[in-house]
Structure 1
C-alpha cells in the first residue's frame, strides 16, 4: 500500500501530486478536494489498456473520502481500472478573465487531479448505498421515490471507488493581473462569471406525476 504524507494546504501528499506551475494556487487539503469533486458532474479518467492510453469522461460522485464511478459489468474501462493505476482530473470553470493584453488573459477555475487505483465495491448493500448517493446528487431525495433496484440490475452494474488520499487541487480567482505599463490601455478589463444553471424540467407525455420544481441537482 502506498504511503502518503499528511496533506496540508501547502504540502503535497506525494511527489506526483505536487503542483509545479504556479504552486501558490495549489491546495492539498482533502476538504478542498472534496468540495471540487462535489461541484463536478463529469471527470476524465486516464488509464492504460492493451498497449494504449485512454482518457474517458464519466459521471462521478463522492461519499466520504472516496470518488465513485459506475458502469456496465462488462465495461473495458472498469476492468482496466481494477487492474492498474490511473489518473482522474476534474475542472470547474468559474469565469473568463479578460486582461488588457492577450498574454494576461486567463480563467478562474477549480480543478483536482487524483492518482491511485480504483477498488470494486463488492458488498451489495454498500453498492446500493453508493448508487443512492449518486441518484440523490442528480435530484435530491429521488432514490426513495423510484421503483426499487432489482438484484439483476445491481448484479449488472459495477461500482468502483478511488481514495482521495493522493490528490491535489489548483484554483484561480480574482481579476486580471496586468503589467503596470498596460494599466492605461483603453480596453475593458475584468471578469465574466461563468455559472451553471438548470433549465425547467421537460415532462414526458406519459409521466403519471406533475412536473417537479426546478432546479435539479447541487449548486456549483
Structure 2
C-alpha cells in the first residue's frame, strides 16, 4: 500500500521529507518572491552539500561519526548529567549521514530512553517512537527501518537533527520538508535540539525565513560550533 492509498500516512524518518515536499516554502513569509529565491538557493546548496558528503570514503565517514559521538557523549555528560532518565531522540542514518547507533546503544545501556523520529502524517509534526538495540524494526516508506507502530510514543528531552548545512545562530539547512521546524514549534516543552553534521558544511547564512527555528546548538566533528542566540 502506498502512502497515498493509506490516506497520506507515512512511517519514515524526516530526512526524506524533501522528497515529500521538494518545493516547500512558508506561504506566510513576508515577501513571497524573496522566499522563492531563498528556496531555489537552498535546493542548489542541498544538492551540493549532499554530493560532497556522499563523496566521502567509508573510512572518512566512520572517523567523523566517531568524533561526533565523542563530542556528543561529552556534551550530554556536561549539560545533562549523562542524560540518564531522560528521553533522547537519535536518528537512523541514511544518505551518507554519520552513524551514531553505537552511541545510541551505549546510552540505552546507561539508562537513557532512546527514541527515533517518524513521519506518520504528511505535513504534520514528527512523532517519536521508543528504540532499543533489541527493537524489531519495520520497513517504512522508502524501505527505511523504523520502530514499529506499536512502539511506545515518547516526548523527547533532547533531539538530534541531522543537517546538510549550518550557520551561526545554530541555524540548520535540512532536507527541505520543514518537518523539524514544525515539530519544534509544536512540542511543549520544547526539546533541546542539537544539529549534527560536517564542520565543512558551514554557510555564511541560510537566509532564515519566518518558518525557520534555530536549534539550541550545532555539533560537528570539531565539537560545538554554534549556539542559539539569546532572545533580547
TM-score (norm 1): 0.24
Larger Rg: 1
**TM-score computed with the length of structure 2 as normaliser:** 0.23
